[in-house]
Amino acid sequence: MLGAVPLLIIPFILYNLGLTGLSGETGPDPWAYEIFSMRMMSGGVWSMTLGDALVVVALLLLFVEIVKSTRTSNASIVDHLLSTFVFVAYLVEFLLVRGAAHSVFFTLMVIAAIDVLAGFSVSLRSAARDVNLGN
């Protein structure tokens, strides 16, 4: 049953922990905190912020969620339902919480929406293949 838990709740929780200051960075924008930077061979400097890292983690979890949506079982129905609830939580927080009015949170919300849409699309596609139509 633990496999039915949507993984995109992890970035949601991490973002909210960052809003409360539990991420360790208490500046005005904890998501702009630079984790590291690296000088490239071209002479440019590439830097990764905490917000960028959170989006990368969410994208990796989105991949796992899409792979999970290919299974056909009762757990996948529960997973899709819970993923929809997670997206609704993102949307409500984005609209009602001042700290969620941030491009990082908006990107996480779009990733959650893609998870919902892709999950239902993949499930419908695989269910259509499972249906055996007689002549």
Dump pLDDT digits (tens) for 56-111. Answer: 999 999 999 888 887 767 777 788 889 999 999 999 999 999 999 999 999 999 99
Residues in CB range of 52: below 8 A, 6 or more apart: 35
User: Which residue type sits at 115?
Assistant: D
Angle (CA) 32-117-68 rounded to 5° is 85
Whether the predicted pLDDT of 135 surpasses 60: no
